[in-house]
Chains A and B, each alone.
Chain A
Amino acid sequence: MIAIVDYGVGNLFSLKSSLAAIGAEAVVTGEAEVLRRADKILLPGVGAFGDAADKLRATGLDAVVIDEARSGKPLMGICLGMQLLFDKGYEYGEHAGLGLIPGEVRPIAEVIPADYKIPHIGWNALRFTGRKSPLFRHIKEGDCVYFVHSFYAANCDESVIAAAEYGAELTAAVQRGNVCGCQFHPEKSGKVGLNILRAFCED
């Protein structure tokens, strides 16, 4: 069973529907016990880094997610959920993340040319970095996925498994052992996105 962490941030409807579409058994939950029982955990999120980190801490689920991840349970963060996996984020101030992957979350404005639109929104191609991650075993390099974000994961080169070109190389996906994350929205990325979720769920 896959547990989707519900901590009051964003709409989990599409994510749950996409897991149903690939035949994965999933529950949306805000209960620590369900997260502990789950085989895998999905951490979604939209909005601002600090606000989401605060909400996750307020539910007390941050400690559970960290414990489960450290004990080896597969964990995937999506969009802001991926950003929360890092040490800290700089969206409206400096905020602590979960510290599961070394690195920090910074504005894309710092690295892209001034005439590029922000947010980075739309379909962009994935470039695999390093050895191909098992997460991508059902897709190929160059496949496009759907992004909506104004911040990106920086100083995390050793964990990056895919990047997207947008005037700069932006972190598209990361993995460190059993913990992984996608900056893009697999649940909004058509067949390619479903194939990434399928790889995570069947691992």
Chain B
Amino acid sequence: MITKRIIPCLDVKDGRVVKGVNFQGLSDVNSPVELGKYYSDNGADELVFYDITASHEGRRLFTDILTEVARTIFIPLTVGGGINSLDDFDRVLKCGADKVSVNSGAIRDPRLIYEAAKRYGDQCVVLSADVKRVDGVFRVFAKGGRENTGMEAIAWIKKGVELGAGEVVLNSIDTDGVKGGFDLEMLDAVCRAVSVPVIASGGAGCIQDFVTLFKTLPRVDAGLAASIFHFGEVAIPALKARRC
């Protein structure tokens, strides 16, 4: 039987791993290459690299670092951030990424999902959605969680999967950084709507939060987190011993 995946996420800006709380107040954490190798050697099931750089130079630096990361890790690597075109898919896949995650780029032009899935296969395209409750409705936010698109989240995610996304990362802005557990209500709604793997993101504070996630929602395939792994608050081998 397939195991539940534990996925550390590395937000990279100007060549360094950073992680904010509720998407604000970034703090320098570590080198992407060192951290990536550490996770690959210590039981992570997959790595996600998000490029949160805005500048052209930053993007080139990210691409260089990505190549270095891909050379040193031997687990699946997903890359996201700044993916707006098939050229962007091509750029990161050539650096050694296995999957590419789209977010704002797909909101701007949903055909990007379809075109990329057609060219690289569904399994290569990950739809990442930042979702927040607004007046009791799940809304999709763009631009790193700063802009309310007004779109209803479940409908958007369903559409993304119909267009060819092979996997969904659901990041709850409401629980992100709070360390009070994953957003089970929001995740349940997504799991009921789609049949592709769903990755839970936002809110994990301790091992028990992952145990609760997989026990309460058996259809969730993976749990993603950042700072609790980076700062050693949760050790992945200990977590994996208890995840099922």
Name A's B-contacting residues (CB within 8 A).
Answer: 11, 13-14, 17-18, 20-21, 46-47, 117, 119-125, 144, 146, 148, 165-166, 187-191, 193-194
Contact = CB atoms under 8 A, between A and B. Distances in A.
Interface stretch (B15-23, B90-98, B152-160): B90-98
B74 to A, nearest CB: 5
A122 B74 contact: no
Interface of B: 1-3, 5, 40-41, 43, 45, 70-72, 74-76, 93-96, 98, 121-123, 166-167, 195-197, 221-222
B93 A122 contact: no
Nearest to A124: B2
Given A13-B70, A17-B70, A188-B75, 4 more contacts: A14-B70, A121-B197, A188-B74, A190-B40
B1 A166 contact: yes
Contacts of A121: 2, 123, 166-167, 197
Tell me if A's interface is mostly helix, strand, loop or mixed: mixed
B35 to A, nearest CB: 16
A17 B76 contact: no
Contact of B195 (A117, A122, A123, A146): A117
A124 B74 contact: no
Contacts of A18: 74
A191 B45 CA distance: 11
B123 A117 contact: no
A180 B233 CA distance: 42
Nearest to B194: A117
16 contacts: A11-B96, A14-B70, A14-B74, A14-B98, A17-B70, A17-B72, A120-B2, A121-B123, A121-B166, A122-B222, A125-B1, A148-B123, A188-B76, A190-B43, A191-B74, A194-B74
Contacts of B5: 122-123
Nearest to A118: B195
A11 B76 contact: no
Nearest to A122: B2
